[in-house]
């Protein structure tokens, strides 16, 4: 007798918990999402039809998706999408997976962009375009430039911008500020690489599958942040802001870098887990 949807979800969730160390609730949600992807149905539909059996073709389709997740592949890459700041983004292995803690960077940026006033915004290392598109979506009067050194990442970001209707956004292939000449902005944001090259976390979990160039940044994880901070004054208008995400233990070092570069109003903000996640400063003439 064919297994029911409920039985498939229960068994799959247990396997994910044992293999990947997910908690019970998260494992169940992932199992439902993967089964829904295989069947082309929502989680709500699965719950309502929990006693329905799976036929052979449906079972095979689910098994293919489940095997990928069971082996550790991030679910965002399997599904090809991830929600960020209430927007749905196309995601591929060419880009970093947007994470909930990065939404803090967007919130802090929006707080420094008055509604209804034109402002120039630069997003360094845009990846999927998540931060730039979220800012552009909520500040349609702003002019946003998103840059990345990866042509493949930029293509994903451009597609996301088209799908989400971010018409006040343009893109450029650039190694940080390299291709920007003397352009200046009112606000610069970045979620740069900030993991030390020898950090054991790079060989664990989702990080194993994500592009190394979007993760690693030298022996202490601060190489790219140093470049961003040191060169920011040349690309900021008077009273402009620089905001960037960093690692859990890097806030103090990041504040020091900003103060050394001449920034004032230097501070850090915590994410929902209480971890200092974004540091920022204002360039006062």
Tell me how crowded residue 217 is: count the other CB atoms within 10 A of its CB: 22
Say yes or no: 21 and 113 in one domain: no
User: Given this model, what pLDDT does residue 203 score?
Assistant: 79
Residues of the domain holding 64: 5-72
Q: Do 62 and 107 sit in the same domain of this protein? A: no
Domain with residue 134: its CATH number is 3.40.50.150
CB of 157 closer than 8 Å to CB of 148? yes
Tokens 């570069």: give the residue. 261
Q: Are residues 31 and 160 in the same domain?
A: no
Q: Count of domains in the chain? A: 2
31 with 172, same domain? Answer: no
For the chain, the DSSP string reads -PPBHHHHHHHHHHHHHHHH---HHHHHHHHHHHHHHHHT--HHHHHHTTTPBP-HHHHHHHHHHHHHHHTT--HHHHHTEEEETTEEEE--TTSPPP-GGGHHHHHHHHHTS-TTS--EEEEES-TTSHHHHHHHHH-TTSEEEEEES-HHHHHHHHHHHHHHT-TTEEEEE-STTTT-TT--EEEEEE----B-TT-GGGGSGGGGTS-GGGTB-SSSS-HHHHHHHHHGGGGEEEEEEEEEE--TT-HHHHHHHHHHTT-EEEEEEE-TTS-EEEEEEE---
Task: Report yes or no on 82 lying in a domain.
Answer: no
CA nearest neighbour of 76 among 59, 62, 95? 95
44 and 181 share a domain?
A: no
Tokens linked to 38: 């295989």
Contacts of residue 151, Cβ cutoff 8 Å, sequence gap at least 6 = 173
Q: Taking Cα atoms as reference points, which of 123, 94, 82, 89 lies closest to residue 212?
A: 94
110 and 155 inside one domain = yes
Q: Indicate whether 240 and 118 sit together in one domain.
A: yes
| Residue 88, in any domain of the structure | no
Does residue 84 form part of some domain? Answer: no
Same domain, 157 and 257: yes
Last residue of a domain, one of 39, 72, 105: 72
Residues 20 and 102 in one domain: no
Tell me, yes or no, whether 60 and 137 share the same domain. no
The residue out of 42, 72, 102 marking a domain boundary is 72
Query: Are 208 and 260 in a shared domain?
Result: yes
Question: Cα–Cα distance between 76 and 82 in angstroms, integer?
Answer: 6
Task: Please state, in angstroms and rounded to a whole number, the distance separating the CA atoms of residues 35 and 13.
Answer: 11
Cβ proximity of 219 and 198 under 8 Å: yes
**Furthest CA-CA distance within the chain:** 75
CA distance 157 to 216: 21
Q: What are phi and psi of 194, to 5 degrees?
A: -150, 20
Q: Is residue 81 part of a domain?
A: no
* pTM as predicted: 0.91
**Same domain for 263 and 148?**
yes
- Running along the chain, 285 residues long, what does each successive block of 10 average in pLDDT? 88 94 92 94 92 90 95 95 96 95 98 95 98 98 98 98 96 97 96 88 82 86 96 97 96 98 97 95 91
> Is 245 within a domain?
yes
């Amino acid at each position: 007798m064919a297994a029911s949807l409920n039985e498939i979800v229960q068994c799959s969730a247990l396997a994910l918990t044992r293999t990947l160390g997910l908690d019970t609730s998260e494992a169940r949600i992932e199992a439902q999402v993967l089964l829904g992807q295989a069947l082309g149905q929502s989680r709500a539909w699965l719950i309502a039809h929990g006693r329905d059996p799976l036929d052979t073709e449906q079972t095979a389709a689910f098994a293919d998706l489940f095997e990928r997740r069971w082996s550790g592949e991030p679910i965002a890459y399997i599904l090809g999408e991830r929600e960020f700041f209430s927007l749905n983004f196309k995601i591929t292995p060419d880009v970093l997976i947007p994470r909930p803690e990065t939404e803090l960077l967007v919130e802090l940026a929006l707080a420094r962009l008055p509604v209804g006033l034109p402002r120039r915004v630069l997003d360094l290392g845009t990846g999927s375009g998540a931060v730039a598109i979220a800012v552009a979506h909520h500040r349609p009067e702003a002019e946003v430039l998103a840059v990345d050194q990866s042509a493949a990442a930029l293509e994903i970001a451009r597609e996301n911008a088209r799908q989400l209707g971010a018409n006040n956004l343009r893109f450029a292939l650039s190694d940080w500020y390299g291709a920007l000449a003397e352009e200046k902005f009112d606000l610069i944001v970045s979620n740069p690489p900030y993991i030390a090259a020898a950090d054991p976390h790079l060989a664990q979990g989702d990080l194993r599958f994500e592009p190394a160039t979007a993760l690693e940044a030298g022996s202490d994880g601060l190489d790219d942040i140093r470049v961003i901070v040191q060169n920011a004054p040349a690309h900021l208008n008077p009273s402009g802001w620089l905001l960037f995400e960093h690692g859990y233990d890097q806030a103090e070092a990041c504040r020091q870098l900003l103060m050394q570069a001449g920034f004032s109003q230097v501070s850090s903000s915590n994410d929902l887990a209480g971890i200092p996640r974004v540091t920022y400063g204002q360039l006062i003439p």
